[in-house]
Amino acid sequence: MTEPAISITHVTKTYQRGGETLRVLDELDLQILGGTFYALMGPSGSGKTTLLNLIGGLDHPDSGDVVVGGDSLTSMSAGELARWRADHVGFVFQGFNLLPVLTALENVELPLLLTPLKKAQRRAQAERALELVGLTDRMHHKPRELSGGQEQRVAIARAIAVDPAVVLADEPTGDLDRHTADQVLELLQRLNRELQKTILMVTHDPVAAGYAQKAIHLDKGKLGRIDDNRKATVTAGH
Amino acid sequence: MPIRLLFRNLRAHPIRALLTAGSVAVAVFLVCILDATVRGFTAAVDLAAQNRLVVMSNVSLFVNLPLAYQQKISQVPGIAQTCKFQWFGGSFKQKKGGFFAQFAVDPENFQTTYPEVGIVDGSYEDFRRRRDGCVIGKDLAAQYGWKVGDTVPLVSALYPRGRDGEEAWTFNVCAVYEARVRSLDQMTMYFDHAYLMEALDLGAAQGQKGVGTYSIKLADGARAETVMAEVDALFAGGPQRVKTTTEAEFNRQFVSMMGNVPLLLRSIGGGVLFAIFFAVLNTMMMAGRERTRDVGIMKALGFSGGSIAALLVVEALLLALAGAGIGALLAKGVEGPVARVVSMWAPGFAIDDRVLLQGLSIAAVVGLVSGMLPGLRAARLLPVHALRQEA
Amino acid sequence: MASVPLSYNLRSLLVRRGATLLTVLSIAATVAVLAGVLCLQQGFATMQAEHGRDDLAVFLRPGANSEGESGMDLERAQILLKETPEVQKGTDGKPLAAAEMFLAVSLPKIDGGQTNVPIRGVQPATFAIHGDALKIIAGRNLTPGTDEIIVGTAIAERIQNCRIGDQLVLNVTPFQVVGIFEARGSYRCELWGDVDRMQHALQSPNFNRILAKLEPGRKAADLNERLKDDVRTPAKVQTEREYLIAQTGKLSGLLQFIGWFLAVVMGIAAVFTGTNAMLASIGARTREVGILLATGFRPFAVFRSFLFEAATLGLLGGLVGCVLVLPLDGMQTGTTNFDTFTDVAFAFRFTPRVLITAVVFALLLGLVGGALPALRAARLLPTQALRRT
């Protein structure tokens, strides 16, 4: 299970910002191995989030190819990408991004509506995901009744509800205090270890990066280096 | 469960939902009433009796025909019955705005000529026997609290009594009628024409002798055009030339007297629609804007633009239809009182299925379009923009 | 107490351009409907009122509310014509008083359908009484005692067979159209002929009214007092202006009723719209409200500020609504005067009264609609407001 799950080939992405053209990703080549927990790091503006969006099928590169799990994203239309996202990817955002009008359980159920599962099955799967993140007792609460850490865990449960191969997290601990952040990061580690999920986590926090197995460093839109992180295997003891 | 999301979104802003539905309710209420009024103008024409004709002066509605004409008219072949029909122009002074229609007729011939007048209280026989008797409509009786046996005093502008013209004519209520067809109102009083002529002959009152119009009931199988032409020819040389028309034509002239009033009412209806359309659209655009982030999340999760747009459209439709339902109910609720108020001009006023359906459809269209605009915007929104992430 | 700067509210309206536009349009449509009906009513009312004269008196049968209802036999009419001292005498020494006949006659319109045209039988004195206010603008005046008629300018354009040289048959008698006249008010909607010839043709033996010019200083009210209970010649006397205004009652009343009914009903809808708009607008600015309060502005200042914003929305809506209706000004229309049952042509008139009514109405809408949201904003606690994102 170490063939590249994600293949980035010669990808370039530019943005217009105030009349200027910014080259955020510059002919980037990158191979990501399946079942591995990566931290994606680099200074602000280095294109980390952009890369995450490309891998998640939220955006198209200007040139180059993005292949995830054998599917070439660059050749898909917007509609096809939407369907692909529903089955293959789970997102975790810095701002949690739960729908405020739905309960925790209903938020987790949301992506399951895009599957052919029946109501009872959806319910069961959502409850399982919540169980995994340890929030069974809060499942009927709305986001405003949950703490930041709990919201993020619900978001993670939502991200894995459809059992995707890849989980993309954008600064998941940015809005959390140290202790809660650790809990969330441990959870991500568990998902990687126990469920073999490929996890890509954008972060600028070296402590958070320490929870990952490898760290990808981007610099000015190009690949800087990839570090191996022995420390990642030693997480118990907190 | 998208349905649950739909209702949650509505419940998240209850005041806004209520106010929007409320303004749609008001609009539909108005549109229904305006529509019913405009239709009511022409009901008298559309539902006019097919077998009745009206003979009036060719010159003016306000010039009377000689009494002697009736005998000659009734001898024209194809005529089953004739009946005098004279506008009285009276008012009930004791009540402010006490204004309703009164007609002097032939009690002997009235019922056969106008079978749609159904007696529900009192006795038509009494009406035929008493010179000063009258038959009044159900709604008229209700509005003024008159019962069989009551005496009704009316002052007439066309047939003034007394030196100052302010002395009242008195009528005895012999019977109450209800309308068996929709085009007939229930706010009219009918009395004996002979009562009128008697007072004029005695000098107790002043006014034109003769009759304003004669109603003709055609015999079975008679052709209206033939009879009309014959009656007109009878009096071609005077002293008063006549014009015989079908009852529908006769009623139409009153409708055309309305001139531009129907157009005015229709324009008002149009204005109302515009106002409401902008209002609902505003609400939906606001809702759409507030939920930009939600749209981004759902798109990130894999929901298609179409399904997200559909949610907005259905939400708008729900609001519009809920409001329309309330408005329709309100309109139906005031149907009775309004019908009475406008019965003089729009006797056929009725909030019927056609009117209600039109109101509901208009609301539905407004809802659809109001939902589609923000829906399209949401569908085309790129998740990256919706979630406003940093590079 | 310090006020929140007005520019804050005005800028906020500009920033949320789309919502502001839709709200203004919604209120504008409501105001336009109301203003349109008012323009119609004003056009009708002013046409009558501004052309009635105070120095002319109208004599009717007691108890009659209009010429149509009034009837005066020849004997009584003659007495009044000759023996009323309050009437001014003309240059020839004869009283400036004329007995007239009035009847609404059904005639075909040029663009189809029938309508009731007012026909007036006049005497030579009638022209002396009207004086310069009545001008023959085409053809010539009718010759007394003949079957010639003259038509008002409004008639010539709307009714068939009313051009100079045409023949119009009334009952069984043909009349020649010999001239077109311009006159004030609703007289221009009439058709005039010699009173005796008209009476004969239409088989109408009575006069309907007497029109007379009063001696300077004489009042119609005094004349009314004197004649209303008179045994020989009872009469109801009014100035011509009073008479004309009384003729507008029903249609004017109907239009006013429609106007106010609409105002109330649509006003409710407009208030709902305004409230919605303000609620959303303020809802999106909760943080800004918190900042204002934290900075030190008092809750009442905040309340006043948002009320001002709502009032501005209303005002804009009112002005746009008036602009929408402005093109109607001067547009000709016609309907039946329900008092006289005759066809009357008049124009929409956008008077200052319409403008003021519309704008005040719109302002009120804004204020009432904005009250609840403004109150809500003012009652926020700064801590709450700032915490919400």
What pLDDT, in 10s, does the model give residues A160-190? 999 998 999 999 998 888 999 999 999 999 9
Residues of A with Cβ-Cβ distance to B302 under 8 angstroms:
82-87, 111, 114
Q: Quick one: which of B206, B196, B203 has its CA closest to B171?
A: B196
Positive or negative torsion for Cα A89, A95, A99, A104: positive
Give the 3-state secondary structure percentages of chain A, helix then strand then coil, rounded to 5: 40, 30, 35
Query: What residues of chain C, 104 to 133, have a C-beta less than 8 Å from chain B?
Result: 104-106, 113-116
Quote the mean pLDDT of chain A.
87
pLDDT at res. C389: 45
Q: Quick one: which of A162, A159, A180 has its CA closest to A170?
A: A159
If phi > 0 it is left, if psi is from -120 to 50 it is alpha, else beta; for residue B332 that is: alpha
DSSP E strand boundaries for chain B: 52-57, 79-87, 90-91, 102-105, 117-122, 133-137, 151-156, 169-179, 189-192, 213-218, 242-246
Quote the mean pLDDT of chain C.
86
Question: Domain A4-231, what architecture?
Answer: 3-Layer(aba) Sandwich (3.40)
> What six digits make up the tokens of C61?
């049968």
Find the mean pLDDT for residues A61-82.
Answer: 89
Give, for A11, the enclosing helix (H) or strand (E): strand A4-17
pLDDT at res. A37: 94
Tens-place pLDDT, residues A193-211: 998 899 999 998 889 999 9
Chains near C with 3+ CB pairs less than 8 A apart are B
Tens-place pLDDT, residues C111-132: 877 778 889 999 999 999 998 8
What are the residue boundaries of the structural domains of chain B, listed by start? 2-44+259-383, 59-240
Q: Which residues pair with B151 in a beta bridge?
A: B172
CB contact under 8 A, C64 and B258: no
Distance in angstroms (rounded) separating the CA atoms of residues A118 and B73: 82
> What six digits make up the tokens of B13?
């802003």
CB contact under 8 A, B1 and A86: no
Please report which confidence band the pLDDT of residue B18 belongs to, taking 50, 70 and 90 as the band edges. Answer: very high
What number of residues does chain B have? 391
CB contact under 8 A, C19 and B16: no
Please report which confidence band the pLDDT of residue C171 belongs to, taking 50, 70 and 90 as the band edges. Answer: confident
Task: Identify the three-state secondary structure at position C137.
Answer: strand
Query: What residues of chain B, 59 to 98, have a C-beta less than 8 Å from chain A?
Result: none
CB contact under 8 A, C115 and B58: no
pLDDT at res. A238: 36
Find the mean pLDDT for residues B275-287.
Answer: 85
pLDDT at res. B70: 93
pLDDT at res. C204: 78
Distance in angstroms between the alpha carbons of the first and the last residue of chain B: 34
Confidence check: pLDDT of B220 > 60: yes
What are the residue boundaries of the structural domains of chain A, listed by start? 4-231
CB contact under 8 A, C26 and B20: no
pLDDT at res. C387: 63
Confidence check: pLDDT of A237 > 50: no
Find the mean pLDDT for residues C289-305.
Answer: 84
- The CA distances from residue C297 to B109, C12, C290, C309, in Å, are 83, 18, 10, 16
Confidence check: pLDDT of C63 > 80: no
Least confident of A203-212, B247-256, C158-167: B247-256
C108 within 8 A of C202, measured Cβ to Cβ: no
Confidence check: pLDDT of B318 > 90: yes
DSSP E strand boundaries for A89-151: 89-92
Distance in angstroms (rounded) separating the CA atoms of residues A191 and A166: 11
Find the mean pLDDT for residues C193-218.
Answer: 89
Tens-place pLDDT, residues A125-166: 999 999 999 999 999 999 989 998 999 999 999 999 999 989
- Residue B260, φ and ψ in degrees, nearest 5: -90, 10
What single-letter amino acid sits at A49? T
pLDDT at res. A231: 52
Show the CA angle centred on residue B192, arms to residues B191 and B198, nearest 5°.
130
DSSP E strand boundaries for chain C: 56-60, 97-108, 114-122, 135-139, 148-152, 167-170, 173-182, 191-194, 209-213, 236-239, 332-337, 342-347
Nearest CA in chain C to B99: C250
Tens-place pLDDT, residues A21-71: 888 888 899 999 999 999 999 887 778 888 998 998 888 899 999 999 889
pTM value is 0.78
pLDDT at res. C196: 93
Confidence check: pLDDT of C381 > 80: no
Q: Write out the residues of chain A at the interface with chain B, using a CB-CB cutoff of 8 A.
A: 15, 22, 24, 44-45, 47, 49-50, 53, 56, 58-59, 78-79, 82-87, 91, 93, 97-102, 106, 109-111, 113-114, 119, 158, 170
Residues of C with Cβ-Cβ distance to B322 under 8 angstroms:
none
What are the residue boundaries of the structural domains of chain C, listed by start? 6-49+249-387, 56-215
| Chain A closest-CA separation from residue B16 CA (Å) | 16
B53 within 8 A of B247, measured Cβ to Cβ: yes
B286/C contact by beta carbon, under 8 A: yes
pLDDT at res. A78: 81
| Chain B closest-CA separation from residue A2 CA (Å) | 27
CB contact under 8 A, B29 and C265: yes
| Chain C closest-CA separation from residue B63 CA (Å) | 8
Residues of C with Cβ-Cβ distance to B19 under 8 angstroms:
272-273, 275-276
